[in-house]
């Protein structure tokens, strides 16, 4: 099916002085959308000021809010993420799957393998490095309330639970946002901004206050999503440096690390060293791949490969039940576990969705909806499963069949230090330790830089290349929020998790309407296609009838003319007849019928 190209003509006026974006025409790079930037910046200033000036009070407030949110909305997060999975699978398999994310004549800008590599890059980040060993170990040592079984059964359940948090559900969230953005930008020719994804529902209202509110929610959510990743990264970096006896892991050193790496990010942002950032990103992927392969081939290789295949089977067998599991009968323990894990992840992915969604939308021009959904869901999910199977599987193997040591005698796991505990026991442990710290540091820089770019695009009405000072502001803002979260209370990780859950709540509502708007736009385009198809069919039928009639009418008319001419013959007109001046003339006479 080839649907019509969707680049509707616009009748919107030029950009107004208030900074509202212009439909189909991004604003100048130096121009902020003040109606978006100022409220978002004000919210951030209030949050940071409150957290830094009253850290103890902020910790109490955040804790109370988190408890209430989990109690009231834990089920909501579970339900909407399940809905996003169903939506993603349905839209990819539906009749809308052939809609092209671009003009009808557009084709994919990247080859299939290059596109897969870029999707893998989108899936790699600080989170995978931080949780690669720590999460399976935590689920093994402290499984969800009500879970029973032998050590081997708990290990299998731990990987299945980890797959749930990092698999189809996470990438379905990105499909919802990425697909809506890709359709708005590549098919309808809109700027790269979240507001335009709801244009099928809101119409011209996206140019006003409704659109501003949508972008503000997306901007604040993205900021806290980036800050969450930066916070996790610095927690792990400080733990690694402590393990390597370079510096002690304290809040002071964590803040210092954030400031140092943010300074490096600012050098990149302000100087515009795009090639350097690309080189860092490519280097990071290589380092991550080398780390993965090294652990795979220096560890229990056959066990890890068998466990990878078996864990996928366990995941597929249990995914439906786990998707809807709210631990409703586990009481307060269930709420606490859900808050620390599933609800945290769903909130983190939702707050991270504008960032990843914009990235995968930009690299997917020319793909069909079906290609987009299949690629975004399957490729990163399988590679993520492989990552956890190798790193987490190696840690579980060590606990079950080796010398252990990664889970404390009290059943606790040192989450920040879990990766380094695994690496130091491998051949070349000290070198691996330093390499992992470098890997995290580069992920920190690239995440901060890319996150600042996305936030700058949103705050400038969708301009693809915002001014450097705008990007610098958002890089500093993300670092400041990360510092604030680390300083609130005694448990920096708990504060980070709270922020991810809370900021995702309003954007999750936007995502629900994104699904509705996307289906509405697809349905309207499909109806236009069917109308055009019927119109073309009518024209084709009319042309065939016309050709048929003309052909047969021509034959009949030729025969009639021949029959008529057969009744006549030419004969010379008599000389001197009226009108004959003496020249030889001829006349047509009708033959006498016999």
Question: The domain that contains 99 carries what CATH number?
Answer: 1.20.1740
pLDDT tens track for 421-463: 999 989 998 999 999 999 988 888 888 888 888 899 999 888 8
Contact 511, 80 (CB under 8 A): yes
- DSSP output for 519-555: HHHHHHHHHHHHHHHHHHHHHHHHHHHHHHHHHHHHH
590 Cα distance to chain centroid: 87
- The Cα–Cα gap between 379 and 106 comes to 23
- The Cα–Cα gap between 558 and 227 comes to 85
pLDDT tens track for 460-490: 888 888 888 899 999 999 999 999 888 886 6
Report the chain's terminal Cα–Cα distance, integer Å.
67
Is residue 13 assigned to a domain? no
Top pLDDT among 176 and 20 is at: 176
Contact 229, 122 (CB under 8 A): no
Is residue 541 assigned to a domain? no
- The Cα–Cα gap between 58 and 65 comes to 10
Is residue 317 assigned to a domain? yes
- The Cα–Cα gap between 125 and 191 comes to 27
**Would you state the pLDDT for residue 22?**
46
Mean pLDDT of the chain: 84
Structural domain count of the chain: 1
Give this prediction's pTM.
0.83
Is residue 102 assigned to a domain? yes
DSSP-assigned beta bridge partners for residue 570: 588
- The Cα–Cα gap between 61 and 118 comes to 40
Is residue 182 assigned to a domain? yes
- The Cα–Cα gap between 264 and 367 comes to 36
Ranges of beta strands (E only) in 80-175 are: none
Q: How many residues are recorded in the chain?
A: 594
Is residue 219 assigned to a domain? yes
User: pLDDT band for position 574 (50/70/90)?
Assistant: low
Is residue 147 assigned to a domain? yes
- The Cα–Cα gap between 264 and 274 comes to 13
DSSP-assigned beta bridge partners for residue 589: 569
Contact 118, 363 (CB under 8 A): yes
Which residue range forms the structural domain that includes residue 336?
Answer: 34-323+332-534
Is residue 70 assigned to a domain? yes
- Give yes or no for residue 518 having a pLDDT over 90: yes
């Amino acid at each position: 099916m080839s649907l019509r190209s969707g680049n509707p003509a616009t009748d919107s006026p030029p950009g107004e002085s208030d900074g509202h974006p212009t439909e189909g025409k991004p604003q100048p790079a130096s121009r902020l959308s003040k109606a978006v930037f100022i409220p978002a910046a004000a919210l951030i200033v209030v949050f940071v000021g409150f957290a830094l000036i009253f850290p103890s009070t902020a910790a109490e407030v955040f804790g109370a809010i988190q408890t209430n949110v989990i109690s009231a909305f834990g089920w909501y997060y579970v339900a909407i993420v399940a809905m996003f999975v169903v939506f993603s699978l349905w839209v990819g398999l539906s009749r809308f799957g052939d809609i092209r994310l671009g003009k009808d004549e557009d084709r994919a800008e990247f080859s299939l393998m290059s596109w897969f590599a870029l999707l893998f890059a989108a899936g790699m980040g600080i989170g995978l490095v931080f949780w690669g060993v720590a999460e399976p170990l935590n689920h093994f040592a402290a499984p969800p309330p009500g879970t029973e079984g032998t050590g081997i059964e708990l290990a299998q359940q731990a990987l299945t639970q980890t797959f749930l948090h990092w698999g189809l559900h996470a990438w379905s969230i990105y499909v919802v946002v990425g697909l809506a953005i890709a359709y708005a930008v590549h098919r309808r020719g809109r700027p790269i901004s979240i507001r335009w994804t709801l244009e099928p529902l809101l119409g011209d209202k996206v140019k006003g206050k409704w659109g501003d509110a949508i972008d503000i929610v997306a901007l604040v959510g993205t900021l806290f999503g980036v800050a969450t990743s930066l916070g996790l990264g610095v927690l792990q970096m400080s733990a690694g440096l402590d393990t390597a006896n370079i510096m002690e892991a304290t809040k002071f050193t964590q803040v210092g690390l954030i400031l140092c790496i943010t300074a490096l990010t600012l050098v990149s942002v302000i100087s515009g060293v795009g090639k350097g950032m690309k080189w860092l990103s490519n280097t990071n992927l290589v380092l991550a791949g080398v780390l993965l392969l090294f652990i795979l081939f220096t560890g229990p290789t056959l066990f890890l490969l068998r466990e990878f295949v078996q864990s996928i089977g366990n995941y597929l067998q249990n995914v439906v039940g786990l998707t809807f599991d709210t631990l409703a009968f586990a009481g307060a323990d269930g709420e606490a576990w859900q808050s620390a894990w599933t609800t945290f992840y769903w909130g983190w992915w939702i707050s991270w969705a504008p960032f990843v969604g914009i990235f995968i939308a930009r690299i997917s021009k020319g793909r069909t909806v079906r290609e987009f959904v299949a690629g975004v869901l399957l490729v990163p999910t399988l590679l993520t499963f492989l990552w956890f199977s190798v790193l987490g599987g190696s840690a579980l193997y060590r606990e079950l069949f080796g010398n252990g040591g990664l889970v404390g005698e009290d059943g606790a796991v040192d989450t920040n230090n879990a990766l380094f505990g695994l690496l130091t026991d491998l051949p070349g442990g000290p070198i691996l330790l330093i390499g992992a710290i470098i890997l995290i540091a580069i992920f920190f820089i690239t995440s901060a830089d890319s996150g600042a770019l996305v936030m700058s695009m949103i705050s400038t009405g969708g301009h693809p290349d915002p001014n450097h000072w705008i990007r610098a502001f958002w890089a500093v803002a993300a670092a400041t929020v990360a510092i604030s979260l680390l300083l609130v209370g005694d448990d920096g990780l708990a504060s980070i998790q709270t922020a991810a859950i809370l900021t995702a709540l309003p954007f999750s509502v936007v995502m629900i309407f994104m699904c509705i708007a996307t289906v509405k736009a697809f349905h309207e385009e499909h109806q236009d296609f069917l109308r055009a198809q019927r119109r073309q069919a009518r024209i084709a039928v009319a042309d065939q009838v016309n050709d048929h009639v003309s052909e047969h009418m021509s034959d009949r008319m030729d025969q009639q003319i021949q029959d008529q001419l057969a009744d006549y013959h030419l004969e010379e007109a008599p000389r001197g007849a009226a009108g004959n001046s003496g020249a030889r003339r001829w006349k047509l006479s009708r033959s006498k019928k016999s």
